[in-house]
């Protein structure tokens, strides 16, 4: 059994980069891959999130292939799979910091939300980051972007922002009211260079994780990407979004702003970027992605899906998987989730009947 608790190795330090909703616990990802595949096998995750399965696969010598539609998740995945050398990342950060004065004027024109969330030095650095980091094409830039996104919001003193949840960015009006009510109307004065250098030094202190696999995560919509693929996989290991639980794009709106997105929380952007609240669309999404995935699996493949225990998500997922893997034997495993555990439990007042169920199919 793998135990990735603690932060004593490069592998564990990088494994948890990037707060993300409904992410796999790292021990679970390592143990599942270890049990259901062999070194050299190929693994597919069409809902890769922050790349937990892909990272675990690469560390265990599997060629792991992931697809993720949300750039925030993709950036974390890409950075932890192939982090750029530390000195290059620091050089780039220092360059952005040197530009912050230039962006200060622009920062004064930002909305009340931004003025209360970040002090002017931080806002200057963030505007320079937004403008200059070529995170889609450059490994140094994607690594630095992942490290900045990781610290963008959270507790005062350990993040760049005024107090905010680390995983989910609240809307502007909610935040403004909350800060005012809690005597936090002035953002904390933070030296962003110092804070980020401290975080970077910690992350690199044990080195960087290494692997010799072809593992990769593609930024895109899974049905489209899978359609153009002719790879073969022996393990399908994934966790689809749960019906009507979260909106990955709206909840990450502040990080998406840093990547060039809108400067406010937007509920529904398009059918693939929303909260999965339409039953028919949810069914069609899973049907299409699992149908394309099934076409790429070897005959003796294993399917391991972790999903929501609640009725609609579970029943839809089971019926679609039976349809596309008709000759696989199926078993399910539902573990009661204790308070505070589980991959979707980030807020204290969650309903009690939440938890995950694992669907395992073998041939």
Ligand X SMILES: C[S@@+](CC[C@H](N)C(=O)[O-])C[C@H]1O[C@@H](n2cnc3c(N)ncnc32)[C@H](O)[C@@H]1O
Name the residues that contact ligand X, by CB under 6 A. Answer: 20, 22-24, 47, 49-50, 52, 67-70, 73, 221-222, 239-241, 248, 272, 285
**Smaller CB distance to ligand X: residue 187 or 355?**
355
Closer of 96 and 254 to ligand X (Cβ): 254
Following DSSP, what letter does each residue of 166-209 receive, concatenated?
Answer: SS-PPPHHHHHHHHHHTT--SPP---HHHHHHHHHHHHHTT---
The CB-nearest residue to ligand X is 49
Write down the least CB distance from residue 122 to ligand X, Å.
27
Cβ nearer to ligand X, comparing 115 with 307: 307
Q: How far is the CB of 24 from ligand X (least distance, A)?
A: 4
Torsion of CA 165, 163, 266, 308, to 10 degrees: 10
CB 256 → ligand X: shortest distance, Å?
11
For the bound state, the minimum distance from the C-beta of residue 314 to ligand X, rounded and expressed in Å, comes to: 14
Residue 79 CA to residue 86 CA, distance in Å, equals: 12
- How many Cβ atoms are within 10 Å of 315's Cβ, its own excluded? 11
For 310, list phi and psi in degrees, rounded to 5. -70, 150
Q: Strand, helix or coil at 92?
A: helix
Q: 327 or 347: whose CB is closer to ligand X?
A: 347
Q: In 3D, which of 272, 346, 344 has the Cα closest to residue 308? A: 344
Q: What is the spatial distance between Cα 127 and Cα 261, in angstroms, rounded to a whole number? A: 12
Per the structure block, which two tokens stand in for 235? 């393990």
Closer residue to ligand X (CB): 76 or 118: 76
Which of 123/217 has CB closer to ligand X? 217
Distance of CA 164 to the CA centre of its chain: 18
CB 45, min distance to ligand X, A = 7
Cβ at position 340, least distance to ligand X in Å? 18
Residue 238 pairs in a beta bridge with 305
């Amino acid at each position: 059994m793998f135990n990735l608790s603690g932060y004593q190795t490069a592998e564990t330090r990088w494994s948890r980069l990037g707060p993300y909703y409904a992410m796999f616990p790292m021990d679970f990802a390592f143990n599942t891959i270890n049990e259901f595949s062999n070194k050299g096998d190929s693994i597919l995750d069409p809902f890769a999130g922050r790349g937990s399965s892909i990272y675990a696969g690469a560390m265990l010598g599997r060629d792991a292939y992931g697809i993720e539609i949300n750039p925030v998740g993709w950036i974390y995945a890409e950075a932890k799979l192939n982090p750029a050398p530390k000195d290059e990342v620091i050089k780039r950060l220092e360059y952005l910091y040197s530009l912050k004065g230039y962006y200060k004027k622009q920062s004064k024109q930002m909305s009340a939300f931004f003025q209360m969330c970040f002090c002017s030095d931080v806002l200057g650095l963030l505007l320079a980051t937004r403008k200059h980091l070529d995170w889609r094409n450059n490994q140094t830039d994607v690594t630095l972007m992942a490290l900045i996104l990781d610290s963008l919001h959270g507790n005062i003193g350990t993040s760049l922002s005024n107090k905010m949840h680390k995983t989910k960015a609240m809307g502007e009006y909610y935040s403004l009211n909350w800060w005012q009510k809690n005597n936090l109307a002035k953002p904390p004065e933070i030296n962003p260079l110092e804070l980020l250098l401290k975080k970077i030094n910690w992350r690199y202190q044990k080195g960087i994780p290494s692997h010799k696999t072809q593992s990769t995560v593609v930024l895109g919509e899974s049905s489209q990407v899978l359609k153009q693929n002719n790879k073969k996989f022996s393990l399908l290991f994934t966790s689809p979004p749960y019906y009507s639980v979260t909106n990955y794009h709206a909840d990450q709106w502040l990080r998406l702003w840093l990547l060039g997105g809108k400067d406010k929380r937007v509920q529904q952007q398009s059918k693939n970027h929303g909260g999965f609240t339409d039953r028919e669309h949810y069914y069609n999404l899973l049907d299409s992605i699992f149908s394309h995935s099934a076409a790429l699996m070897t005959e003796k493949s294993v399917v391991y899906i972790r999903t929501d225990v609640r009725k609609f998500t579970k029943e839809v997922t089971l019926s679609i998987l039976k349809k596309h893997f008709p000759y696989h034997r199926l078993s399910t495993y539902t573990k009661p989730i204790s308070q505070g555990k589980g991959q979707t439990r980030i807020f204290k007042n969650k309903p009690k009947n939440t938890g995950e169920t694992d669907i395992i199919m073998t041939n």
